[in-house]
Amino acid sequence: MARAYFGTDGIRGRVGEHPMTVDFALHLASAAARVLAPQGGSVLIGKDTRLSGYMFESALEAGFVAAGVNVMLIGPLPTPGIAYMTRRFNCDFGIVISASHNLYDDNGIKFFDASGGKLSDELEEQIEAQLAQPPLTRASRSLGRATRADRSRLFYQEFCASTMPPGVDLSGLKIVIDCANGAAYKVAPRILADLGAEIVPVGCSPNGRNINDGCGSTAPDLLQLTVPGVRAHVGVALDGDGDRLVMADHLGRIVDGDQLLYVIARAQKEAGTLRGPVVGTVMSNLGLEIGLRSAGIEFRRAAVGDRYVLAMLRETQGILGGEASGHILCLDKTTTGDGLVSALQVLAIMKQTGRSLAELASGMQKFPQVLLNVKVAERFDPTGVPAVQQAVARIEQRLGADGRVVLRASGTEPVIRVMVEGRDEDTTRAAANELAKIIQGIAG
C-alpha cells in the first residue's frame, strides 16, 4: 500500500493547506490513537518554535484526549529530545510538531514509537487507513487527560551531557552555538555552558517566524562569520528541530556531516570502540568512502534518509552512520540522529586530542559534488526513463572511475534531485546541468 501522507520523515506541508490543517491534525490524532493506543495509553507531544505549532498542538491534544489517550505537553524541544523523553516517561509513543529545516510557513508531524524509534512503514500505513474514520470520542469516564511537562526538559539536558566521556568537559573552549531560532534554543546553550564552555549564542531568539531564516545548519553564513570574528575555537549549527548538525572550524570553514562522520569514526577506530561498518547514503561524498578505507574502516551506503541508515546499521550491527546534511546516528549513545549529542562527541575528541576541528577533518579530501533540484509537477522515477538512462551512461563514462551520478525523487518536495560527483569541479557541474536540462524537458 502506497502511503499518501507519510513521507521519509513524517507528514509535512504548507500550513493551512491539506494536510497541514487543524481538521487533519484532529483526524490524525484519532487515527493514531486507534492504531498505537487502542486501549488508551499516553503520548508525549513536543514542537519547535513555529507560530503554527500552537494550533497543531491543541488539535492533536484534543484528538488524543477524546480518544482516551493521556497527553504530556513538553513544549519546544529538539526532535531527538522527544525520542529520549518518550522512552524516559514510558509513553506509548511520541510526536514532534516540526518541519525540520524548512521555513516557518511549513510544518509537520512526526511520530516515535515507545522505544524512541521511528514508526515502521506498516504502522504508518495502518494509521493512514484509519484516517477515513470520524474522530473518536469516548465516554466521559474514559477520556484522557492533558498535563504540561515543560520542566522535564532538564532530563534531556542531563542525558546529553552524560554522553561525554568520563572526566571530559568543555572548559577552555569558546564555542559559537547557532540554534536556527528553533527547538534547541534553550537546551543547547545551557548544555554547553554547564559543561564549562564559553558560549556565544546566535539564532537563539525565536519569534515564531524566524526559524531557519538566515541561520542554522542550512544557512551557516552567520556562523562562519561569527566564529573567526569572536576568535572562537569552533562553531556548532543545528537545524530548526535539532537533529541536524554542521560545524565550523576556527577559520569559519564549514565541516559538514560527512566530515564529522569521518572525525568520529577515526576517533572510535583509534579507541577500539567502533563496531560494524560506518553507514552513509548514496549521496555521501566519495571522499568519505576513500578516507575511511585508508583508515581501515568499512563503509556502506544506504538509501537517502536517516531511517534507511538506521535500518542498515541494525542489519550490520554497526553503531555509527549519517548523511552529509548532518543527520548523524551514534547508536552507542542514543536511538536517533541527535545534533547536540553528535556535536558533543566531536567537541570531546577536540578536548581529548588537543587538536583543532580543522586538523581532525583534514584527513578527508572532499570530492567536488554538485546537487541540483529540478522542480516537477508530479514526482516520478527518473531512472526509468530511457533518455535519462542514456544520458547517465554517457556522463558516467566521461567521469570515469572517480565519478558518480545519483538521481532520486525527493520524499518531501515535488523535485527530482540530481547529484553528480567527480574529481574536476567544472566537468562535474557541466554534467549536472546537462542532466537537469534533460529531466526538465521530460517534466514539461
Q: Are 177 and 199 in contact (CB under 8 A)?
A: yes
* Catalytic hit among 100, 217, 284, 325: 100
Residue 100 known to be catalytic? yes
326 vs 241: CA distance, rounded Å: 12
3-state secondary structure of 21: coil
275 vs 32: CA distance, rounded Å: 36
Peptide bond preceding 76 in cis form (omega within 30 of 0): no
200 vs 95: CA distance, rounded Å: 31
How many residues are listed for the chain in this entry? Answer: 444
Burial of 17 (0-12, 13-18, 19+ CB in 10 A): exposed
Concatenating the DSSP letter of every residue in 279-312 gives EEETTS-HHHHHHHHHTT--EEEE-SSHHHHHHH
3-state secondary structure of 47: strand
3-state secondary structure of 193: helix
Residue for cell digits 532538564?
154
Instruction: For residue 313, give the H/E element and its range.
Output: helix 306-316
Phi, psi of 236 (to 5 degrees): -125, 125
- Of residues 244, 269, 263, the one with CA closest to residue 328: 244
Q: Are 114 and 36 in contact (CB under 8 A)?
A: no
Q: Which residues are catalytic?
A: 100
